[in-house]
């Protein structure tokens, strides 16, 4: 079964500079949940890897993050989709952990858990750090313009040959079309 890795905030759900701190604040981007379901129906295992520094900052706790992820999973189930796993980094930017993107530690953990190589596995994100972590892990970074994507694109410095799409739905359609 093929694998795909998604960032959460700005890719699946609307992002906020004030962080997503409760299930009520978590709202999917139009078409994103259906895009994940489409991946599932095409045989893909879908994994989310997300930085959640709001935990380190004291803005939410692990229980609240779990409730946010439960909402995401419930809404995804309603459209016929599912996630294989959600890996998150609870650390802040100054904690120097290996799991916080742009470092590839969470990607490495995923590869070990699933006993797979991440070579050329699509990894969709909206920030430069998402793309850098994917590239460092050997995955294929893909940028969406939702969330921080437009800003990321305008600031430049992207890894070479990064595909750019308007949103997750368009990226998924292009990916599935290319694998026919």
Percent of the chain whose predicted confidence (pLDDT) is above 90:
96
Among candidate residues 7, 15, 126, 130, the one labeled active-site is 7
pTM: 0.97
Token pair listed for 157: 């410095």
Question: What is the total count of domains within the chain?
Answer: 1
pLDDT band at 179 (very low <50, low <70, confident <90, very high): confident
Number of Cβ within 10 Å of residue 58's Cβ equals: 8
119 flagged as catalytic: no
- Which one is catalytic: 9, 15, 126, 130? 9
Query: CA gyration radius for the chain?
Result: 15
* Domain of residue 160, CATH code: 3.40.50.1000
Q: Where are the alpha helices (DSSP H) in 18-156?
A: 32-41, 62-78, 105-114, 128-136, 149-155
- The sign one gets for the Cα dihedral 63, 66, 67, 68 is positive
| pLDDT, tens digit (0-9, with 9 covering 90-100), for 103-133 | 999 999 999 999 999 999 999 999 999 999 9
Which pairs from 62-71 meet CB under 8 Å and 24+ separation? 62/90, 64/21, 64/22, 64/23, 65/90, 67/22, 67/23, 68/20, 68/22, 68/23, 68/26, 70/23, 71/23, 71/26
Print the domain residue range for 61. 3-178
DSSP type of residue 96:
-
| Structure confidence by residue, pLDDT tens digits, 29-64 | 999 999 999 999 999 999 999 999 999 999 999 999
User: Who's near 105: CB < 8 A, 6+ residues apart?
Assistant: 89, 97, 98, 99
Q: 63 catalytic, yes or no?
A: no
């Amino acid at each position: 079964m093929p694998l795909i890795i998604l960032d959460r905030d700005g890719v699946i759900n609307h992002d906020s500079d004030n962080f997503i701190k409760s299930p009520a604040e978590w709202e999917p981007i139009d078409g994103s949940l259906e895009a994940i379901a489409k991946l599932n129906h095409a045989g893909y295992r879908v994994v989310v890897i997300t930085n959640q520094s709001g935990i380190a900052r004291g803005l939410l706790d692990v229980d609240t993050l779990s409730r946010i992820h439960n909402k995401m999973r419930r809404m995804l189930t309603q459209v016929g989709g599912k996630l294989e796993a959600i890996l998150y980094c609870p650390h802040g930017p100054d904690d120097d952990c290996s799991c916080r993107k742009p470092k590839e530690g969470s990607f490495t953990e995923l590869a070990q858990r699933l006993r797979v190589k991440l070579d050329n596995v699509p990894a969709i994100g909206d920030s430069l750090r998402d793309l850098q972590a994917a590239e460092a892990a050997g995955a294929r970074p893909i940028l969406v313009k939702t969330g921080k994507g437009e800003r990321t694109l305008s600031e430049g410095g992207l890894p070479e040959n990064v595909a750019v799409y308007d949103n997750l739905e368009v990226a998924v359609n292009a990916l599935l079309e290319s694998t026919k």
